Structure 1
Amino acid sequence: MHKLPLIIKREYLAKVRNRSFIVMTILSPLLFVGMAALVFFLTKANNEEKKVMAILNESDFFQDQFRDDTSLSFVDFRGMPVEAAKDSAQHAAYYGLLYIPKGGDIEKVANSIELFCKESPGLGTLSSVENVIRNNVREVKLRNFGVPDEVLGELGKNYEISVENFTGEKKLRGINEIKAFIGGGFGYLIMMFIIIYGAFVMRSVIEEKTSRIIEVIISSVKPFQLMLGKIIGNSLAGITQFVIWIICGTILLFLLAGFLGVSVGELGGSRIPPEAADAMSGISGGMQEKAQLYLAELLKISWGILLVSFVIYFVLGYLIYSSIYAAIGAAVDNETDTQQFMFPVILPLMLAIYVGFFSVFNNPHGPIAVGFSLFPLTSPIVMLMRLPGGIGAGGVPVWQFVTSIVLLIATFLFIVWLAAKIYRVGILMYGKKPSYKEMYRWLKYS
């Protein structure tokens, strides 16, 4: 094993000196920020577009019920024939025409209302119109039953249950979903980098195999050492990239904090900086209090533990999957032949993302979330979704966190042992497309 450090060094330097690696290390943070800014800008521009809808009301109901708001305004076509109103709305390029026919019963009228549109309307617009109709029908029916107007006003109020733990500390609605979304972002990064860096290992093996240089290398190095060196060398290159991004992000945080006049030390505690409180001063009382509670809750997240866990799970997850990638690269002659083996490798990662989001959002400590956060092929992603809730004391139990890491290490040792058997045989196989059955037979070779 004395040659292993030389292999690791060679793979590491070959990766970090690569021009594409240097360019992506510098550009990736800027691209992420740019993409986030673009999505925000496009979403804001889309939401600011105001739709104009014509309304033709032939009934005695729903008078002055449809009022303009920030996203939808109405033009009254009262007195026009239906066909003329449809033509006018179409030629004026209105979003649509809401037609309310005649009738003596409000429920029959409501069931006969039609919306004419050039294209299928969005769910948000439909819900807005339907809510107006539903509320007005309900109000008229209650009035017919003799319910006073002041009681009708009381019925429209919203009521929220105050949630607290047994010590009296307030719990916020939806905070688990927000934390799971943050953890899901880290988990998604792990999935992307496992796929990217695992593919690097596979391509490196294929290139050396097709150029026949591998025959020279293994004359002085054992195949297992070569495979392990490639895996660890690329892993260190990935960690180097993460460290550079963390340093750049920290520098940007300090610069931004200095520009805003915020002490960076205040960001690590649960107390809300006065500058943040001032920024929320324009929000109404109840909303401002809620915003402060949410911000305080997010500041309580142990970001240091989350970042360290991110590196740990990335390295262990990468070691497992890159071993599989290396075995696949050794078994084939070109990258085209890898397609039949890729889907079973990527499937657990995709499963972790989707199942993790659905399970952790609804019940972060439920059996499905716990099971997937312990299963080694999905735990690097699902466990990170649960970690923003903390470790111990209401968060992820310490035993689950430790068990998932131990299982990852044991799984890596087992998979690298299996992958080495395939690697040792497949690295010198040429001109034949391997099958799962043949690779299984390779595992039996001593």
Structure 2
Amino acid sequence: MSKLTLIIQREFIAKVRNKSFIMMTFLSPLLMVGMGALVFFLMKKNDEKVKEILYVDNSGLFTKVDFTDSETIHYLDYTSFGIKETKKKVEGGDYYGALIIPKQDSLEILAKSIEFYSKDSPGMSIMDALESKIETKIRNEKLNNFGIDIDQINASKIQSDIKMYDFSGEESSKLINGLKIGLGAIAGYMLMMFVMIYGTSVMRSVIEEKTSRIIEVIVSSVKPFQLMMGKIIGNASAGLLQFFIWGVILLIISTVASSIFGVDMVEMQTAKLSPEQIEAAKQAAGSDKMQMVVQELLRLPILKMFILFIFYFLGGYMLYSSLFAAVGAAVDNETDTQQFMLPIMLPLILGVYVGFATVINDPHGSIAVLFSYIPFTSPIVMLMRVPFGVSWYELAISMTLLVVTFVFMVWLAAKIYRVGILMYGKKPTYKDLYKWIKYKG
């Protein structure tokens, strides 16, 4: 058995036997589901609380019909009590807020002179609801002044439902676009988090062995390059095992939750969609919501996404782990790593920002395509693009560049690694790293 294989086995076994690894492997999915359920429950409880808003209409323009109650807002007409008394009621904490509508000669001036008082800062949804009611009423009043029949305008309104097809004749929908956005964003963000977690794990492992002087014994019989590759591949194997276990646990949890507890999967999915996508989902899900979601999910290239996730996880992880290993070999303690961490982390963070800023709006735009080719950002950006359909030649370019860059960075990092692991007592600089790379001994 080769020395590299022995190192890989040693790192893998040491990782999976770690108590924290075992605990987080089985507890993380439960914690994720629990946190999601808690957030969903808190959102529901927050929406259930009815907020009472007092309004004083000195303009005489608004009626009770204009302030129709909703599920979360209840309006009370306090015009007869006056502004001063109404403010006292709200200030005393009995009510959520007070809307003061003054008397003005001009509708334009009235629209800009309405005031809202509350003890605490009001939520954006509350203010949007109030502004919408005010704008609708004033606009209708202006139309009446212009002699325009509002009933005819309302009767002329119509909703369009554009059916989407590709050139093969397959029908698409707004819901599947929302699912693509969600799956791509989750995949890209998860990859960034795990690359950071397992990359820093390799770095800490190198620092620990270096500070305990075990490394001096190991390198006497193993080449530094083999040792670095063994650590990277061993940790990657442990990470893939953890992914597999998480996938099985989450599948079991989702199956049990949907069949036993009757979880409304469509409602949970549409919580992250735009209002138009939510409306489309509700209309399409009138008879069998769960079946609709399953049908839409089956349209997605799940197998392709899974295979590419594994590839880009391994490629991105190995690329960044080689850099983390080189940093771990260069320093004596974790505190000294800070000056080298930022340049490594920036491309990962940039990939997430570029993905959310460009891929969601235009997955095939020039910026999204460019960053899905750049090896330091492609693992994240390309994963976000895959659900929207990416040609094989684009994937081939991205994957080839990633592999070539990984091989080059491993070779470069190994040069730093072979010198740095035996250096003690000096805080390295970028100049020192450059000298180590050029060293030919």
Q: TM-score, normalised by structure 2?
A: 0.89
Deviation digits for residues 265-303 of structure 1, max 9, x if unmatched?
A: xxxxxxxxxxxxxxxxxx986663896766633331122
SS in 1 for 2:174: coil
Contact preservation (8 Å) 1:180, 1:357:
no
Q: Aligned partner of 2:350: which letter?
A: L
Moved more, 145-154 or 37-46: 145-154
Partner of 1:230: 231
Partner of 1:404: 398
Kindly state the Cα deviation for residue 93 of structure 1 after the two structures are TM-superposed.
2.9
1:26 aligns with 2:20: no
Whole-angstrom distance in 2 between the partners of 1:13 and 1:209: 20
Tell me: CA distance 1:116–1:359, structure 2 relative to 1, closer, same or farther (3 Å): same
Partner of 1:71: 72
Whole-angstrom distance in 2 between the partners of 1:149 and 1:322: 65
Unaligned ranges ≥5, structure 2 = 263-280
Give 1:117-196 correspondences, 5 Å limit. Answer: 117-154=118-155, 157-165=158-166, 169-173=170-174, 175-196=176-197
Partner of 1:416: 410
SS in 2 for 1:410: helix
Aligned residues: 420
SS in 2 for 1:102: coil
Q: Aligned partner of 1:112: which letter?
A: S
Kindly state the Cα deviation for residue 223 of structure 1 after the two structures are TM-superposed.
0.8
Whole-angstrom distance in 1 between the partners of 2:283 and 2:224: 67
Whole-angstrom distance in 2 between the partners of 1:260 and 1:96: 38
Tell me: CA distance 1:260–1:141, structure 2 relative to 1, closer, same or farther (3 Å): closer
Contact preservation (8 Å) 1:177, 1:361:
no
Whole-angstrom distance in 2 between the partners of 1:327 and 1:239: 23
Whole-angstrom distance in 1 between the partners of 2:134 and 2:431: 64
Runs of 4+ in 1 over 6 A off after TM superposition: 289-294
Contact preservation (8 Å) 2:143, 2:150:
no
Contact preservation (8 Å) 2:12, 2:235:
yes
SS in 2 for 1:80: helix
Tell me: CA distance 1:138–1:30, structure 2 relative to 1, closer, same or farther (3 Å): same
Q: Aligned partner of 1:123: which letter?
A: M
Contact preservation (8 Å) 1:176, 1:361:
no
Whole-angstrom distance in 1 between the partners of 2:378 and 2:179: 20
Partner of 2:214: 213
Moved more, 215-224 or 102-111: 102-111
Q: Aligned partner of 1:329: which letter?
A: G
Contact preservation (8 Å) 2:140, 2:150:
no
Partner of 1:277: none
Kindly state the Cα deviation for residue 409 of structure 1 after the two structures are TM-superposed.
1.1
Identity of aligned residues (%): 51
Whole-angstrom distance in 1 between the partners of 2:77 and 2:7: 77
1:440 aligns with 2:437: no
Tell me: CA distance 1:256–1:11, structure 2 relative to 1, closer, same or farther (3 Å): same
Partner of 2:371: 372
Whole-angstrom distance in 1 between the partners of 2:360 and 2:225: 41
Contact preservation (8 Å) 1:205, 1:326:
yes
Whole-angstrom distance in 2 between the partners of 1:285 and 1:8: 53
Tell me: CA distance 1:160–1:100, structure 2 relative to 1, closer, same or farther (3 Å): farther
Moved more, 73-82 or 296-305: 296-305
Whole-angstrom distance in 1 between the partners of 2:50 and 2:158: 28
1:360 aligns with 2:355: no
Tell me: CA distance 1:242–1:47, structure 2 relative to 1, closer, same or farther (3 Å): same
Contact preservation (8 Å) 1:373, 1:404:
yes
Q: Aligned partner of 2:224: which letter?
A: P
Contact preservation (8 Å) 1:139, 1:152:
no
What is the CA RMSD across the aligned residues, in angstroms? 2.4
